[in-house]
């Protein structure tokens, strides 16, 4: 800057400006382009900043020096101070806060047309723009999460399936596909829709399932989503999705399951078409027992805190000792990358190795 006087502008106020540090090319591009940027958070939330594709924690970092914001006005030798600050704002990438999707949409879960009048009258419904403004996630992250949860739009509002109702539709699909001798590897959307609707129409004349609901239920179990009018499209069923859904449906029904009994019933639910493996339920269960008998119980990662410290406290409240294989599924949503998970384990646990197996105990008080 050229030499000259520093003068304060009229009605100068300290900290009337904030400086944001853009620590990556992606952030620079987002701020310089027409990309939508939003700061999200309800009254008691830690605020986050969202671009179209990523979510960032907003942190204030204090500096030892005062930063003056100036420009030249009136004469070349006079520099007007418009602002002064002793801190900057740092944007740190974080995982999106998606748990609120279930909280918001669970009460209005779709469980059949006969229940819709009560839902519409007594429950709060949320449009896509409602969710986008409330959920602390980027637009792309929100869309991915809604698809992963098999959420669908009905009359302009996003809905989740009631788990028992979705299981009923799936059972109709598989049972009637077997009756018609349809090959699951060759099944079209039209055939799948027929399997779900024909028996329902015959048995319950009052139950009318909208086409978009039928197709949404099918999309919950395929690798590539299809549209309502894609009747000739050949479906590719996703074994992992189907087995995970069936296993979670079984586990979430209150009952003490001995592991072998659970595996036997789970196998039958797949109608010998879809082959379940325990790995399909990663992040949904805990095993306990002894060498004589092992039990499995429902323990979904979605119910755990998203704050890392609280997450580890919850995990070690359930079990004093975890193997790496046991604890990793409960960290994937916080730390998708292996190095990130290693960092969390180093920060919040103590590791010890016994007979080539790594075990973790808590550092969290």
Spatial separation of the C-alpha atoms in residues 41 and 97, rounded to whole Å: 10
At residue 349, the pLDDT reads: 96
Q: How confident is the model at residue 165 (pLDDT cuts 50, 70, 90)?
A: very high
Question: Residue 131: its pLDDT value, please?
Answer: 97
Q: What is the pLDDT of residue 322?
A: 96
The pLDDT > 70 percentage for the chain reads: 94
Summarised one tens digit per residue, pLDDT across range 108-126 is: 999 999 999 999 999 999 9
pLDDT digits (tens, 9 = 90+) for 205-233: 566 789 999 999 999 999 999 999 999 99
CATH 2.60.120 at 5-94, yes or no: no
pLDDT at 260: 94
The answer to whether residue 286 scores a pLDDT higher than 70 is yes
Q: What global pTM score does this model have? A: 0.84
On the question of pLDDT at 34 being above 70, the answer is no
Show the beta-strand stretches assigned E in the chain: 5-8, 20-21, 38-40, 48-50, 55-72, 78-94, 152-154, 157-159, 257-258, 285-289, 294-298, 322-323, 349-354, 357-362
Q: What is the pLDDT of residues 322-350, one digit of tens each?
A: 999 999 999 999 998 899 999 999 999 99
pLDDT of residue 201 exceeding 70, the answer is no
What is d(CA 162, CA 102) in angstroms, rounded to the nearest whole number? 11
Rounded Cα gap, residues 131 and 105, in angstroms:
10
pLDDT (tens digit, 9 = 90+) per residue, 122-159?
A: 999 999 999 999 999 999 999 999 999 999 999 999 99
What residue ranges do the domains of the chain occupy? Answer: 5-94, 99-219, 266-362
How many residues in total does the chain contain?
Answer: 365
Q: What pLDDT score does 21 carry?
A: 84
- Provide the pLDDT confidence category of residue 92 given band limits of 50, 70 and 90: confident
How confident is the model at residue 112, as a pLDDT? 92
How do residues 61-90 score in pLDDT, each as one tens digit?
887 788 877 775 656 677 777 777 878 888
What pLDDT score was predicted for residue 171? 93
């Amino acid at each position: 800057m050229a030499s000259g006087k520093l003068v304060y502008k009229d009605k100068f106020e300290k900290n009337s400006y904030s400086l944001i540090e853009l620590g990556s090319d992606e952030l620079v591009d987002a701020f310089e382009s027409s990309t939508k940027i939003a700061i999200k958070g309800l009254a008691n939330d830690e605020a986050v900043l969202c671009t179209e594709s990523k979510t960032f924690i907003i942190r204030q970092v204090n500096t030892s020096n005062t930063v003056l914001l100036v420009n030249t006005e009136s004469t070349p030798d006079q520099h007007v101070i418009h602002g002064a600050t002793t801190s900057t704002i740092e944007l740190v990438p974080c995982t999106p806060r998606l748990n609120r999707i279930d909280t918001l949409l669970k009460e209005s879960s779709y469980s059949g047309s006969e229940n819709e009048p009560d839902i519409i009258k007594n429950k709060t419904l949320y449009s896509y723009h409602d969710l986008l403004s409330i959920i602390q996630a980027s637009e792309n992250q929100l869309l991915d999460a809604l698809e992963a949860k098999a959420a669908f739009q009905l009359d302009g509002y996003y809905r989740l399936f009631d788990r028992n109702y979705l299981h009923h539709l799936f059972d109709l699909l598989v049972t009637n596909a077997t009756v018609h001798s349809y090959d699951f590897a060759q099944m079209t959307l039209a055939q799948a829709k027929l399997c779900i609707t024909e028996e329902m129409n015959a048995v319950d004349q009052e139950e009318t399932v909208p086409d978009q609901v039928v197709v949404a239920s099918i999309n919950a179990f395929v690798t590539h989503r299809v549209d309502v009018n894609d009747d000739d499209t050949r479906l590719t069923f996703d074994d992992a999705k189907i087995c995970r859904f069936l296993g979670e449906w079984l586990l979430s029904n209150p009952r003490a399951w001995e592991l072998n009994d659970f595996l036997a019933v789970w196998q039958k639910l797949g109608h010998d078409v879809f082959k379940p493996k325990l790995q399909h339920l990663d992040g949904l269960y805990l095993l306990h027992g002894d060498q004589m008998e092992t039990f499995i119980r429902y323990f979904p990662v979605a119910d755990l805190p998203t704050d890392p410290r609280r997450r580890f406290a919850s995990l070690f409240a359930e079990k004093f000792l975890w193997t790496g294989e046991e604890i990793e599924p409960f960290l994937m949503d916080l730390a998708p990358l292996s190095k990130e998970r290693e960092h969390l384990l180093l920060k919040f646990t103590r590791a010890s190795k016994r007979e080539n197996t790594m075990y973790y105990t808590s550092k969290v008080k």
